Structure 1
Amino acid sequence: MRADESDRTSRALNAAVAAGRDLGLDVSGATVLHDLFSVVVHLAPAPVVVRVPVVLPRSSDVTALAARQRTELDVVAWLAEQGHPVIPPSPLVPREPVLRDGFSMTFWQFTEILETVEPDYARNAGLVADMHRALRGYPGELPFLSAAEPQMITDSLEDLGGEVDPADLDRARREWAVLEPLVRSRSAFQAEFGVDLQPIHGDAPPFNIVPTPNGELYADFELVALGPPEWDLAAFGPECEASYDARARALGLRELDERVLRFVNAVGMLRSLSCLALVPQLPMLADALKPAIEQWREMPFAGGLTS
């Protein structure tokens, strides 16, 4: 870890500890559980975990982040109240983001994760259908396809220069000119595809179904939004799509639409490419994104939606 990353982690940890202490928690054994896009802190011995986002696009200031976090807390609390298997907000503190030392953080109930259990993404994709059925009842308003983070893509494609092959950048900008109107406008999307929309998890939920001693729980609804169910299966491939479809049929939900899948896969790839703009904050992304970019080069332009 570079010195600036280590300093960022220390500042996030200190902010989480100070905020927890101010809220009356015993934080004497606080420890960092994860450190990537967010610093995740267990405020031990209190049964509370704090998630502190630290790697953010330039379009996301603390005010915008806090608004998104309030939505996440509300959706997950509602799911928990309905008895759905989620990691809920902590009941020991007020259910709202806390601003401290330049960070906006959220507080969650500590849950033991069975780290030795290998994830079964195909099986998890079937569980996503159950989550979608649960989310259909959520009564609140959600922004359309905010999970795609369109402003991040726009900004990144403007900012990226020498970090990206010129041919790749040219293609990405031309693709975004095709896809952006469908991401930005609910009416344009529905006119193009004619499929139903509903609350979606927004952030690769087959990755975010975690094994615990009390069963599998849905986690990390940071990008919860209104959108097509296909968004939650983007880039997971045919096996996961088939698993989702089988469970969707059993639950009386519609199966995945092929054209919408091509759309969400194309947008997801541009979102991955745009994350190269975050490399100065998180250098490991430079190598981590290479396989996705290589895959994108082999894909049809804009998911073949222009043909």
Structure 2
Amino acid sequence: MTNPSPRAERAVALATEAGRRLGLRADEPRVLHDVFSVLVHLAPDPVVVRVPTLAVADPAELAGKQRRELAVAGWLADSGAPVVGPSPLVPREPVEAGGTSMTFWEFVTETDPLRDLPQDDPAALEDRFAEQTGWTAELHTALAGYPGDLPVLSPLVPAIGTALEGLRTDPQSLTTADLDRAEREYAALEALVADFPARFPRARLQALHGDSPAYNLLRTAGGHRFADFEDVTRGPVEWDLTFTGPRGIEAYERASGTRVDRELLDLMEGARLLQGLSALTLAPKVPELGAMLAPMVEQWRARTPLTLKNL
């Protein structure tokens, strides 16, 4: 990556420092990705460090979230599931440096990346996501056996509530009416999470990837690998299937042999839009984020508001 951002430069320094403390060489660190987190490959070792540069959680909360991620991804990797697992070269635990904590992962060489698809060919993109959504059924089957405890829909509650508190102080592009509606919707989601079975008795809650696994997948010479379990949580599979499109849902149903609840999927998509809106709280640190999220905010405004009645 040319011309790294200041946050990426700092992430490289922190990852290199932490890696060398753990016995890695880290002679040729390079940035692979720089958005919400910075991914640093500590070449020549096959290790990638994820450095959270925009985390809004306090350090203890962030470390707890990272421990859940490492536990789930590590368990999946040990079980033979197609995931990018924790690096076997360091202990499976968050590593502190410079006032933040980071996690260490396998380095995987990606083939046929999404960015190489023709971006002006919607059919090709739809084909890709339909196929990858079908593969998500395999991941869900593996996750259903996870024996550990996980919070229910933690990317929504309390994460959105914390973000909305910040947006009251610095609302970005949101109006007072937007914020009032967002807070009402969040209150409805809090009630749902508090007693999910009462409102959706047929839904089966299980361990989930938490952040659209069909979008967080690497194709490699050895097959596909799911990655980025930062938002691992417990909930209905519909949360992982938001905005994968009708063909993706059909592919998932064929692969899983189970029916996706369209009503619950629609609700989860409304919640996903509210989550996107809440990400505006990060815009002061990532100025381009406002423009990136603008279509999602407009889509949220056009939807019928979430209420306890329609939950």
TM-score by length of 1: 0.90
Deviations 1:42-73 (A, max 9, x none): 0001111100111122xx11111111111111
Residue from 131, 134, 144 that aligns with 2:142? 134
Deviation at 1:303, TM superposition (A): 7.5
Which residue is 2:121 aligned to?
A: none
Distance 1:130 1:170 in 2: 40
Which residue is 1:206 aligned to?
A: 214
Which residue is 1:85 aligned to?
A: 82
Residue from 251, 260, 277 that aligns with 2:281? 277
Deviation at 1:304, TM superposition (A): 9.2
Q: Which amino acid aligns with 1:280?
A: P
Q: Does 1:14 align with 2:13?
A: yes
Which residue is 1:171 aligned to?
A: 181
Q: Which amino acid aligns with 1:276?
A: L
Deviations 1:97-155 (A, max 9, x none): 1001112111111110123654611111111111000111111111111132x223113
SS of equivalent residue, structure 1 residue 232: helix
Distance 2:239 2:249 in 1: 11
The 1:291/1:9 distance shift into structure 2, 3 A limit, reads same
Deviations 1:16-67 (A, max 9, x none): 001111111111111111111111000001111100111122xx11111111
CA RMSD of aligned residues (A): 1.9
Aligned pairs for 1:290-301 within 5 A: 290-301=294-305
Deviations 1:172-216 (A, max 9, x none): 222222222113x1xx11100011111110011110111111111
Which residue is 2:120 aligned to?
A: none
Structure 2: which 5+ runs fail to align?
118-124
The 1:247/1:117 distance shift into structure 2, 3 A limit, reads farther
Deviation at 1:159, TM superposition (A): 2.9
Distance 2:309 2:249 in 1: 20
Q: Is the 2:70–2:86 contact (alpha carbons within 8 Å) kept by the matching residues of 1?
A: yes
Distance 2:154 2:160 in 1: 12
Aligned pairs for 1:67-86 within 5 A: 67-86=64-83
The 1:19/1:267 distance shift into structure 2, 3 A limit, reads same
Q: Which amino acid aligns with 1:34?
A: H
Residue from 190, 200, 222 that aligns with 1:193? 200
Q: Does 1:64 align with 2:61?
A: yes
Distance 1:238 1:20 in 2: 44
Q: Is the 2:184–2:307 contact (alpha carbons within 8 Å) kept by the matching residues of 1?
A: no
Q: Is the 1:193–1:259 contact (alpha carbons within 8 Å) kept by the matching residues of 2?
A: no
Deviates most, 75-84 or 200-209: 75-84
Q: Is the 1:90–1:107 contact (alpha carbons within 8 Å) kept by the matching residues of 2?
A: yes
Q: Is the 1:32–1:41 contact (alpha carbons within 8 Å) kept by the matching residues of 2?
A: yes
SS of equivalent residue, structure 1 residue 88: coil
Distance 1:74 1:153 in 2: 24
Which residue is 2:96 aligned to?
A: 99
Which residue is 2:132 aligned to?
A: 124
Distance 2:93 2:130 in 1: 34
Distance 1:144 1:174 in 2: 20
Q: In percent, how many aligned pairs have the same letter?
A: 46
The 1:305/1:246 distance shift into structure 2, 3 A limit, reads farther
SS of equivalent residue, structure 1 residue 301: coil
Distance 1:301 1:44 in 2: 48
Distance 2:60 2:285 in 1: 20
Distance 2:160 2:303 in 1: 18
Q: Is the 1:15–1:103 contact (alpha carbons within 8 Å) kept by the matching residues of 2?
A: no
TM-score by length of 2: 0.89
Q: Which amino acid aligns with 1:33?
A: L
Q: Which amino acid aligns with 1:68?
A: K
Distance 2:282 2:142 in 1: 34
Distance 1:137 1:170 in 2: 40
